[in-house]
């Protein structure tokens, strides 16, 4: 065999080896040092070279991200506390200025709060409602549904709360508007702010609306009465008037403009007059004054949580509350945008949205750490 032929054979042999190495998947270990092992993977599956030191750095990076996410979650919780006027978690007594039951009360007081809530619900008849004559009524009103007007009025004169509610809600179609107003006002005088203020707010708003074009000054006076009864309800943990106001204003630009034009101090002044009138009448009847009516602590908690739920459900309500020109300025500070309500909103956002998302990210990173060799 000639030297030329041998050269050709060697050339093609080397070429074949190179081609084999180029197209055949190779996975092997090359020992670089005692502390550094290089994993070589095929070009076909697009892998990169990873050293042990790089592997450690990757784990450290994931752990750092997990720690940062945990810090972020803690910061969100702290921010919610700060919105509520707290710099750190604090345990209050039941009659104190607590906001979120399961965070601010001891286990013993949490149990007591639950019992008080159940008791208050029963007393206030906050339970399943039935429909009669297109009106939502409580189950204990059923015995009054078939009563004639004369009998209902007689019961109402004796301060029968159920009879007064039947008249105020105009469950019986024969009840005239004068009787409706009288019954609702009597409910308020007796400390039944929920139903009483609700009826008066909506009645006065409808009355004001009907007079806007014919007598705007009179319409404004009536609207002040509506807002005043709503605030009287707020003061005793009844939020029903607010929902009725937002419901009517959202669909009536004229009424919206009318209320926006009410001077800021007009409502406060009328509320004070109302409280004095009601207190005088109660004292004359041997009852305690309006300031001495004991509204259960749990009722205020229900008021605050109900407002937060309303804000979540009705975007229009948020728009109205954010309108600085609409409601009396002190409403936001005293009732509708208090530190507790801000905290409740932030806490719900964190609990139902932000923190679950963070927890998912942490779980994903932890899974990657577990899977990593």
Give the pLDDT confidence of 340-371 residue by residue, as tens digits. Answer: 999 999 998 888 888 889 888 888 888 887 87
Do 45 and 194 share a domain, yes or no? no
pLDDT of residue 132: 58
Q: Please report whether residue 200 resides in a domain.
A: yes
Mention every residue, 6+ apart, whose C-beta is less than 8 A from residue 60.
Answer: none
Q: Please report whether residue 362 resides in a domain.
A: no
Do 335 and 247 share a domain, yes or no? yes
The parent domain of residue 224 ranges over 101-350
Beta carbons of 186 and 207 less than 8 angstroms apart:
no
Output the six-digit token pair for 277: 């009138």
Nearest alpha carbon to residue 348 among 312, 373, 296: 312
Do 342 and 268 share a domain, yes or no? yes
Do 39 and 122 share a domain, yes or no? no
Summarize pLDDT for 258-267 with one digit per residue, the tens: 999 998 899 9
pLDDT of residue 14: 42
Q: pLDDT grade, residue 225 (50/70/90)? A: very high
Q: pLDDT grade, residue 220 (50/70/90)? A: very high
Do 159 and 19 share a domain, yes or no? no
Residue for token pair 């990657």: 368
Do 126 and 266 share a domain, yes or no? yes
Rounded to whole angstroms, the Cα distance separating 59 from 66 reads 11
**Residue 81 pLDDT > 90:** no
Q: Please report whether residue 328 resides in a domain.
A: yes
Rounded to whole angstroms, the Cα distance separating 96 from 196 reads 28
Q: Please report whether residue 366 resides in a domain.
A: no
Do 44 and 112 share a domain, yes or no? no
Output the six-digit token pair for 76: 């969100």
Say if pTM beats, i.e. exceeds, 0.85.
no
Task: Give how many domains the chain has, as a whole number.
Answer: 2
Nearest alpha carbon to residue 72 among 360, 345, 354: 354
Do 312 and 214 share a domain, yes or no? yes
Task: State the SS3 of the chain.
Answer: CCHHHHHHHHHHHHHHHHHHHHHCCCCEEEECCCCCEEEECCCCCCCCCECHHHHHHHHHHHHHHHHHHHHHHHHHHHHHHHHCCCCCCCCECCCCCCCCHHHHECHHHHHHHHHHHHHHHHHHCCCCEEEECCEEEEHHHHHHCCCCHHHHHHHHHCCCHHHHHHHHCCCCCCCCHHHHHHHHHHHHHCCCHHHHHHHHHHHHHHHHHHHCCCCHHHHHHHHHHHHHHHHHHHHCCCCHHHHHHHHHHCCCHHHHHHHHCCCHHHHHHHHHHHHHHHHHHHHHCCCCCHHHCCCCHHHHHHHHHHHHHHHHHCHHHHHHHHCCCCCCHHHHHHHHCCHHHHHHHHHHHHHHHHHHHHHHHHHHHHHHHHHCC
Do 215 and 326 share a domain, yes or no? yes
Q: Please report whether residue 363 resides in a domain.
A: no
Q: Please report whether residue 36 resides in a domain.
A: yes
Do 108 and 31 share a domain, yes or no? no
Domain-ending residue, one of 50, 67, 89: 50
Say which range, 53-57, 61-65, 282-286, 298-302, has the weakest mean pLDDT: 53-57
Say which range, 166-170, 241-245, 323-327, has the weakest mean pLDDT: 323-327
Q: Please report whether residue 27 resides in a domain.
A: yes
Rounded to whole angstroms, the Cα distance separating 341 from 307 reads 8
Beta carbons of 354 and 346 less than 8 angstroms apart:
no
Q: Please report whether residue 55 resides in a domain.
A: no
Do 130 and 257 share a domain, yes or no? yes
Beta carbons of 188 and 200 less than 8 angstroms apart:
yes
Rounded to whole angstroms, the Cα distance separating 276 from 290 reads 8
Do 337 and 202 share a domain, yes or no? yes
**Residue 61 pLDDT > 80:** yes
Rounded to whole angstroms, the Cα distance separating 183 from 202 reads 14
């Amino acid at each position: 065999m000639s030297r030329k032929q041998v050269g050709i054979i060697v050339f093609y042999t080397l070429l074949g080896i190179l081609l084999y190495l180029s197209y055949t998947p190779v996975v092997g270990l090359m020992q670089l040092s005692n502390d550094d092992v290089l994993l070589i993977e095929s070009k076909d599956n697009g892998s990169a070279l990873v050293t042990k030191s790089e592997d450690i750095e990757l784990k450290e990076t994931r752990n750092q991200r997990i720690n940062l996410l945990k810090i972020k979650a803690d910061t969100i919780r702290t921010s919610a506390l700060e919105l509520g006027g707290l710099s750190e978690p604090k345990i209050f007594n039941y009659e104190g200025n607590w906001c979120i039951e399961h965070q601010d009360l001891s286990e013993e007081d949490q149990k007591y709060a639950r019992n008080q809530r159940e008791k208050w619900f029963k007393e206030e008849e906050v339970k399943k409602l039935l429909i009669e004559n297109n009106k939502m009524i409580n189950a204990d009103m059923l015995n009054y549904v078939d009563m004639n007007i004369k009998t209902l009025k007689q019961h109402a004169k004796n301060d029968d709360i159920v009879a007064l509610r039947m008249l105020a809600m105009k469950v019986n179609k024969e009840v005239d508007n004068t009787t409706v107003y009288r019954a609702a006002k009597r409910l308020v005088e007796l400390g039944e702010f929920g139903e009483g203020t609700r009826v008066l707010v909506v009645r006065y708003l409808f009355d004001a609306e009907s007079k806007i074009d014919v007598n705007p000054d009179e319409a404004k006076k009536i609207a002040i009465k509506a807002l005043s009864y709503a605030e009287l309800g707020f003061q005793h943990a009844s939020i029903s008037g607010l929902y009725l106001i937002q419901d009517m204003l959202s669909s009536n630009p004229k009424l919206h403009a009318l209320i926006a034009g009410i001077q800021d101090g007009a409502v406060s002044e009328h509320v004070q007059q109302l409280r004095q009138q009601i207190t005088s009448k109660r004292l004359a009847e041997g009852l305690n004054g309006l300031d001495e009516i004991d509204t259960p602590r749990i009722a205020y908690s229900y008021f605050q949580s109900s407002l937060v739920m309303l804000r979540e459900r009705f975007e229009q309500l948020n728009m109205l509350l954010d309108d600085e020109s609409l409601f009396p300025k002190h409403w936001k500070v005293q009732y509708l945008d208090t530190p507790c309500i801000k905290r409740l909103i932030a806490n719900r956002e964190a609990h139902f949205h932000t923190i679950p998302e963070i927890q998912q990210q942490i779980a994903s990173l932890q899974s990657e750490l577990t899977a990593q060799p």
